[in-house]
Amino acid sequence: MRTHAHAEGAQYDAVHDTTALLSELLGRPEGWGARVRFWDGSVLGPQDAPATVVLLHPWSLRSMLWPPSGLTAGEAFIFGEVDVEGDLESLLRALAPVRDLEWRQPRRFAHLMRLLLRLPAPLSTPSHAHAASPSGSEHSKDRDRETVRHHYDLPTDFYRLWLDSRMQYSCGYFECDGCDLEAAQNAKLAHICRKLRLRPGDRLLDIGCGWGGLLEYAAEKHGVQGLGVTLSELQAAEANARFARAGLENRVLARVLDYRDVEGDFDAIVSVGMVEHVGAANLTQYFAKAFGLLRPGGVFLNHGITSAWSEPGSLRTSGFMGRYVFPDGELVPVSRMLGAAEEAGFEVRDVENLREHYAKTLRHWVARLRTNHDRAVLAADEVVYRIWLLYMSGCAYNFDRGVIGVCQSLLHKPNGGPSGLPPTRADWYDQTAETASAE
C-alpha cells in the first residue's frame, strides 16, 4: 500500500510527467482540442475548448492508455478513473491526430508508451460486472437471445428518459434544420410506411420490433394488421401494453420470437436496426427467410447500420462496443448486404443512406440523457449511464465522419411482371398519399 508521503511525491511527479507526455502526444497545450484538469486542480489547454478531461488520479492517464486500446480508454471513463465535462463527441474529434499512431508511427508510439509507463500504476483493476459474457456458438438462437437481452433488457424507464414518445431506437428523419426529435421520428415512420406502400388490411411483419412504435404508427395511420418479433421480453411486454393503450391490441401483436422461427404470409416486411445482430455469415439466410414470408410483389424495407470497410466489422467481446454494448454485433458494407438480398431472390429497388440523420439523432439522445443524469442513474446505475453516453457520442462522431452509415434498402419480391412501385421517388415524399391511405 502506498504511504501518504509516497502518494504525495507520486502526485507531484505525475503532474509533471503527465503534462510532458500530453505535450509529446498533442503538442503545445494552447493547441489542444480540449482542456485537461489535474487531480491537484491545475488546468492546461485553451479556455474556449468544448470539453475538459478531468484526470482524477496520478494514474488516470495510464489507466486510459495502457494497454493501448479502445477498451482500455472506455473502461477508464465508465469506471470513473477519468471524467469528461462538456461535449464528449468533440473530445473524440480532438484526439483524432493520435488515432492509429501505433501503426502509422511505431517508433514514436513506442517512445510515448515508455513515458506513459513512468506514471504510477492504477491501484485497482476494472470490474467486469457490466460486461457481456455470452456462451454457446456465435449467432445460435440461444446466444443471440442472450446478447440481445444484454443490450435491450435495461429498465424500460431508462430508455424513456431520452427516446421520443414512440420509443424509436433508430435514426430520425430530419426534414428541417429546426425539427426536434419527436418530429424527426414521426417523419421517419411516415417515410418508411410510404416506401412500403401500406394499405388498410395489409399484413405487416416487423422483424426486431423494439417497443412497438412503428407497428403502432402503421396500424393507426395505415390500418394494417401487424406482427412484431423481438428477443427481448421487456420490449415485447412494453409493445403490447402500448398497443392496448392505443386500442390496437386486436390488430397488432408483439411476440418474443427469433426471426428464424416466424411463420406466415405477409404483404410487407420491415426491419429497423436489427440486421446488425444477424452476422455477416447469416445474411443470406436472413434475407431468404424474409423472402419466403413475403407474398410475390411484396416489399421488404431493411434499415441497418453499415460499415465503410470492404470487410465486415465484428464487434467482438474483446473491444469496448462488443463487451459493453453490442456483443456479437457485426457491421457489413451495404454492397455485401445487397448482394445477400439479391442472392436470396430480391430485386433491389432503392437504397438511401441516412448517416447524417443518425448523427443528429444521437446528439439529441446524448443531450436528453445528460439532462436526465440523476433519473438515469436511479433507473440503471452510473456505469450504465456512462456506457451509453460514451457509446452514443462515439457513434455520432463515426456517423459524422463516414466511418459508418445507415441504409434503408427497399427490396421487391419479383412476381413475374411490373413491380407496382411508383416510377419516381416523388411518391414517397408526397404526404397526401399517406392521408389517402389512412382514409
User: Which residues are designated catalytic?
Assistant: 395
Q: 132 in helix, strand or coil?
A: coil
- Dihedral through CA 37, CA 41, CA 42, CA 48, nearest 10? 50
Is the separation of the CB atoms in 224 and 201 below 8 Å? yes
b or e along 59-83 (b: 16 or more beta carbons within 10 Å of the residue's beta carbon)? Answer: bbbbbbbbeeeebbbbbbbbbebbe
End-to-end CA distance of the chain: 74
Residue type, 408: Q
Residue type, 165: S
Q: Hunting for cell 429498465 — which residue is that?
A: 155
**Residue 106 CA: distances (Å) to CA of 35, 63, 100, 112, 114:** 27, 21, 10, 10, 12
Is the separation of the CB atoms in 189 and 423 below 8 Å? no
Which pairing describes strands 51-55 and 82-86: parallel, antiparallel, or unpaired? antiparallel
Q: How far apart are CA 77 and CA 434, in angstroms?
A: 46
Residue type, 183: A
Give the rounded distance of the alpha carbon of 223 from its chain centre. Answer: 30
Q: How far apart are CA 223 and CA 232, in angstroms?
A: 26
Helix (H) / strand (E) element for 336: namely helix 334-343
Q: Name the grid cell of 407.
A: 441504409
